[in-house]
Amino acid sequence: MSKRGKLKFILIVSLIVLVIVFLSRCNEQPIENIQLILKPTAPQISLYPYIDEEVTLRVAISNDSIEEMALEEYLIGVVAAEMPVSFEMEALKAQAVAARTFTLRHIPAFSGTPCSSRADICTNSSCCQAWRSESDMKKNWGDSYDDNAARIENAVAATTGMVITYEGELIEALYHSSSGGFTEYAQNVFAHAKPYLVGVSSPDTDYEKSYTFTIDELTEKLNNAFKGASITSLKTDLAILSRYESGRVESVRIGKKIVSGRELRQALNLSSAAFSYRYDGKNIIITTKGFGHGVGMSQYGANAFAENGYTYDEILKHYYKGVSLIDLNTLFDAVNVSNNFFVP
Ligand SMILES: [Zn+2]
């Protein structure tokens, strides 16, 4: 081969090598880029967070701090804050499933309503549900941290992806501390009925609390809380008019006003609306049964069931009538993208 021929040959070979290298680089395109290409043709709601089981959410830790967290990681903090770690494992699992379902109802992609425009959910128990950070757990549990954290993690991991549905939709998995023996119909507390949030018996009758006020003190408190009530003599101006089947107070006459048991509970910061009262000289003693609104799962009831050998799914099906337990992950395979959760 001539010198020129050799040069030509080297040039052609180099060109071929360059083309091969270029083509092979194209195939190594990062996954993110592939997703970007696919995005315009994807459905309106991004499927990304569920297909790989990593549902992430924005959690408002305080007013100015928003943290993005994986759902299952967030749930460990919820179970730790919402239930005593000493509770039975099946009760902790029931709590994990209820909390998971409750949380997803706050995520727009699951047709949920977020807590605010900035966060899907917050850590205020009177708004969303309580949550404890790892450092708080360490502070609270001290030397028992490892054992306690392992219990909570087990409860969450053993139920990974498990959610509660009614007729194919995620339920509003409301829960409360203690029912006092009977849970409450949703419409008696929250103004809207749900077929699965009905009153059921509950094996937690122990929690009672007493509040002592002088008659003058309570008269003043009620007159301040309910403008226009104009109580003059508490003994004749205060009367329970009706109770729900559960024993919670439905309506109370306070002077010239009729208010709900729930409103009275709120005004006096009582543990529950299942209250009664008696007079003792110059005092009035109000006694409440249970703790919380009474709707959905009772946490102490769940523990009592677990102590008697009930499993977490049996417990959940007792407190939420007619529901099914399903694995969220099975819903999000490619075949099943047209299920109820994706209807905008
Ligand atoms: Zn909230």
The pLDDT of residue 35 is: 30
pLDDT tier, 8 (very low <50, low <70, confident <90, very high otherwise)? confident
What is the 56 CA–ligand 1 centroid distance (Å)? Answer: 16
pLDDT tier, 111 (very low <50, low <70, confident <90, very high otherwise)? confident
Average pLDDT over residues 205-216: 95
Q: Is 267 exposed, middle or buried (0-12, 13-18, 19+ CB in 10 A)?
A: middle
Q: Region of 270 please: left (phi>0), alpha (psi -120 to 50) or beta.
A: beta
Cα angle for residues 87, 89, 91 (degrees, 5° grid): 65
Residue 30: pLDDT over 50: no
Provide the mean pLDDT of the chain.
86
Other CB atoms within 10 Å distance of the CB of residue 73:
15
Q: Is 260 exposed, middle or buried (0-12, 13-18, 19+ CB in 10 A)?
A: middle
Q: What is the dihedral of CA 60, 62, 65, 67, to 10 degrees?
A: -40
Dmax (CA) of the chain: 124
The pLDDT of residue 102 is: 97
Cα angle for residues 91, 94, 98 (degrees, 5° grid): 140
pLDDT digits (tens, 9 = 90+) for 116-144: 999 999 999 989 999 999 999 999 999 99
What is the 128 CA–ligand 1 centroid distance (Å)? Answer: 4
Using DSSP bridges, classify how beta strands 257-260 and 121-122 pair: parallel, antiparallel or unpaired. unpaired
Residue 109: pLDDT over 90: no
Average pLDDT over residues 53-66: 84
The pLDDT of residue 252 is: 98
Unique residue bearing structure tokens 């499927």: 47
What is the 291 CA–ligand 1 centroid distance (Å)? Answer: 20
Residue 170 contacts residue 105 (beta carbons within 8 Å)? yes
Structure tokens at 56: 């992430």
Structure tokens at 129: 């549900």
The pLDDT of residue 16 is: 67
Residue 189: pLDDT over 50: yes
Q: Round to whole Å and give the CA distance between 254 and 222.
A: 8
Residue 290: pLDDT over 70: yes
pLDDT digits (tens, 9 = 90+) for 68-89: 999 999 999 999 999 999 999 9
What is the 129 CA–ligand 1 centroid distance (Å)? Answer: 7
What is the 185 CA–ligand 1 centroid distance (Å)? Answer: 22
Q: Which of helix, strand or coil describes residue 205? A: coil
pLDDT digits (tens, 9 = 90+) for 39-52: 333 333 333 344 44
What is the 115 CA–ligand 1 centroid distance (Å)? Answer: 4
pLDDT tier, 11 (very low <50, low <70, confident <90, very high otherwise)? low
Q: Which of 103-112, 167-176, 205-214, 281-290 has the lowest mean pLDDT?
A: 103-112
The pLDDT of residue 103 is: 96
pLDDT digits (tens, 9 = 90+) for 176-187: 999 999 999 999
Higher pLDDT, 124 or 328: 124
Is the pTM of the predicted complex or chain greater than 0.85? no
Q: Round to whole Å and give the CA distance between 130 and 107.
A: 17
The pLDDT of residue 20 is: 56
What is the 62 CA–ligand 1 centroid distance (Å)? Answer: 10
Q: Round to whole Å and give the CA distance between 44 and 338.
A: 12
Q: Which of 52-61, 77-86, 152-161, 315-324 has the lowest mean pLDDT?
A: 52-61
What is the 130 CA–ligand 1 centroid distance (Å)? Answer: 10
What is the 68 CA–ligand 1 centroid distance (Å)? Answer: 15
Other CB atoms within 10 Å distance of the CB of residue 261:
24
What is the 314 CA–ligand 1 centroid distance (Å)? Answer: 29
Other CB atoms within 10 Å distance of the CB of residue 39:
10
Question: b/e per residue, 3-38, with b = 16+ CB within 10 A?
Answer: eeeeeeeeeeeeeeeeeeeeeeeeeeeeeeeeeeee
Rounded-to-5 percentages of helix, strand, coil across the chain: 45, 20, 35
Average pLDDT over residues 210-237: 96
Would you give the end-to-end CA distance of the chain in angstroms?
Answer: 71
What is the 278 CA–ligand 1 centroid distance (Å)? Answer: 37
Residue 214: pLDDT over 90: yes
Residue 87 contacts residue 29 (beta carbons within 8 Å)? no
Proportion of the chain above pLDDT 90, given as a percent: 74
What is the 189 CA–ligand 1 centroid distance (Å)? Answer: 18
What is the 331 CA–ligand 1 centroid distance (Å)? Answer: 27
Q: Round to whole Å and give the CA distance between 341 and 319.
A: 23
The pLDDT of residue 194 is: 97
Residue 335: pLDDT over 60: no
Residue 146: pLDDT over 60: yes
Domain layout of the chain by residue ranges: 48-203+294-342, 208-289
What are the backbone angles phi and psi of residue 248, rounded to the nearest 5°?
-70, 150
pLDDT tier, 38 (very low <50, low <70, confident <90, very high otherwise)? very low
The pLDDT of residue 271 is: 97
Beta-carbon contacts of residue 94 (< 8 Å; ≥ 6 apart): 297, 302, 306, 312, 315, 316
pLDDT tier, 298 (very low <50, low <70, confident <90, very high otherwise)? very high
Higher pLDDT, 340 or 114: 114
Residue 333: pLDDT over 80: no
Structure tokens at 80: 């730790």
What is the 325 CA–ligand 1 centroid distance (Å)? Answer: 25
